[in-house]
Amino acid sequence: MLYLPIFVPLIAAAAAFFTKSNRVRPWIAVAGAAAHSAIVYRLLAFPAGGADLSALGGWLRLDAPGRIVLGFLSVLFLLCSTYAPGYLAMRPERDNRVFCANILVLSATTTWMVLSYHLGLMWVAMEATTLASAPLIYFNRNQRSIEATWKYLLIGSVGIALALLGSLFLSYAAIKGGVETSLLFDDLTRVASKLSAPWLRAAFVLTLIGYGTKMGLAPMHTWKPDAYGEAPGLVGTLLAGGVTSCAFLAILRVQRVCRAGVEAGFVRDILIFMGLFSMAVAAIFMVRQRDFKRMLAYSSVEHMGILAIGVGVGGPALYGALLHMINNGLTKGVLFLSAGNIHRAYGSKSTDQVSGALKRTPLSAALFLIGFLAITGSPPFGPFVSELTIVAAAFRRGEFVAGGLFLVLLAVVFIGMGGTVLAVVQGEPREDRPPNGFRDHFTTAAPIVVFAALVLLLGLYIPRTLESSLREAAAALDVKR
């Protein structure tokens, strides 16, 4: 049963690849994503007798945090794929064979990554995710997008090579500690106190750098503004919501082993520092940012920082971090897709050329504004709840400096991002940018409305099953010593 959500999208990818019609292919992507969602729903709603599902001798396992990430990914891919037919219909001149097939391959590799419960297998899946997503960035086939693709691929591969070195350090920590263990995460956590502490510390630093590169934590975030800026909004959503969440899950799993093995302060301090540093870098580059898609990339850096802080603080903040991963991913869907529509309507993504979007594409512009309010933590949207959970936990656990800086940086980001967003939506459209025929349309607006509705829902009411799954996942990741 665990093989199905990996192989079904792959089969759909093959079908899309061998379909000749440019118009039919996006619908195969929708069908593939719908089938994937149905399988994931079946896996999550009817668990086999309460135990975790596993396969391949425990190498594949759907544990409590995995259930959260997998459920979220299936919603993300489903909504993004429903945006694809409308979007690709506007680009009939472009061959979308590789694009449609790769979206499905990416869905398969991210699922594989979530299910990988073996340190080595997880690494292989993460690298496969990088390779599957690189061609998506190059959809526009111009100089800028190829530059972005190259940076994404090279920086991502180098980063992930360091994560491999970190994984080897972790397995050497067992050899040096004289323990026989498999590289399954539960086994590693069980024997963690016997692992060689210096190697375990080094392993944590290297895996954090490696998977942190994929997550886009500063200072390993340099590929992010380029890739998110040049990729279509749809791809930006899948990267900022999907791929980063996978890398985050990898860090969650490794930190659990390390927390069980070395002194608690080590992992906590590094994660909180990296998180605050990411927020600070993002805040600096968001102030006066004229390119509104690059601005979204820095917003992603900021929110990866928030996730790192949540994990660093631990305890109740873990619940907040998992919830924030969902909130951030869904809100990024609102922002990237509406930004993509505005970009299309003006043929530019710079505030030098774009203004008055509320007049030209009222729905997309309104959604962009809502997305901005949500992502900066304004009530009543989801991110407000999750950020509040994290910062309250930080204060309760005595992290006053981190909590204080967190709030200050949130304020700076709000002001910086607000300047750019308001410049885009307010005022009058410039006369040298006449309407080019793009208008809000049901197919390109409906998925964004659904994303926005989910973000609002999670701010007002968290369904009981989600709440209990989040608690279960946070408890599974927490290490009490």
Place of tokens 């290490």: 479
> Is 138 a residue that touches another protein (CB under 8 A)?
yes
> Is 54 a residue that touches another protein (CB under 8 A)?
no
Q: Which lies closer to another protein via its Cβ, residue 157 or residue 378?
A: 157
Q: Which lies closer to another protein via its Cβ, residue 199 or residue 406?
A: 199
Task: Locate 219 and state its tokens.
Answer: 């200072």
Write phi, then psi, for 60 (nearest 5 degrees): -105, 130
Q: What does the longest C-alpha to C-alpha distance in the chain come to?
A: 73
Write phi, then psi, for 55 (nearest 5 degrees): -150, 170
Report whether 318 contacts 310 (CB < 8 A).
yes
> Is 225 a residue that touches another protein (CB under 8 A)?
yes
Smallest gap from residue 130 Cβ to another protein (A): 8
Smallest gap from residue 25 Cβ to another protein (A): 20
> Is 121 a residue that touches another protein (CB under 8 A)?
yes
Choose the stretch contacting another protein; rule: CB under 8 A; options: 81-89, 223-231, 243-251, 256-264.
Answer: 223-231
Choose the stretch contacting another protein; rule: CB under 8 A; options: 10-18, 130-138, 336-344, 393-401.
Answer: 130-138
Task: Locate 29 and state its tokens.
Answer: 């992507």
Choose the stretch contacting another protein; rule: CB under 8 A; options: 121-129, 265-273, 343-351, 390-398.
Answer: 121-129
> Which 8-state DSSP code applies to residue 350?
B
Smallest gap from residue 336 Cβ to another protein (A): 18
> CA-CA-CA-CA torsion for 390, 396, 398, 402, nearest 10 degrees?
20
The DSSP string of 110-175 is: HHHHHHB-BHHHHHHHHHHHHHHHHHHHGGG-SHHHHHHHHHHHHHHHHHHHHHHHHHHHHHHHHH
Q: Name the nearest CA neighbour of 302 among 393, 368, 387, 230.
A: 387
> Given candidates 6, 70, 99, 127, which one binds another protein under the rule CB under 8 A?
127
Q: Taking CB under 8 A as the criterion, which residues in 277-306 touch another protein?
A: 285
341/343 Cα distance (integer angstroms): 5
> Is 134 a residue that touches another protein (CB under 8 A)?
yes
> Is 161 a residue that touches another protein (CB under 8 A)?
yes
> Given candidates 74, 82, 171, 255, which one binds another protein under the rule CB under 8 A?
171
347 burial class (0-12, 13-18, 19+ CB within 10 angstroms)?
exposed
Smallest gap from residue 479 Cβ to another protein (A): 23
> Given candidates 15, 61, 214, 226, which one binds another protein under the rule CB under 8 A?
226
Q: Which lies closer to another protein via its Cβ, residue 85 or residue 156?
A: 156
296/276 Cα distance (integer angstroms): 18
Q: Which residues bind another protein (CB under 8 A)?
A: 118, 120-121, 123-124, 127-128, 130-131, 134-135, 138, 141-144, 146-151, 153-154, 157-158, 161, 164-165, 168-169, 171-172, 174-176, 183, 196, 198-199, 225-226, 229-230, 285
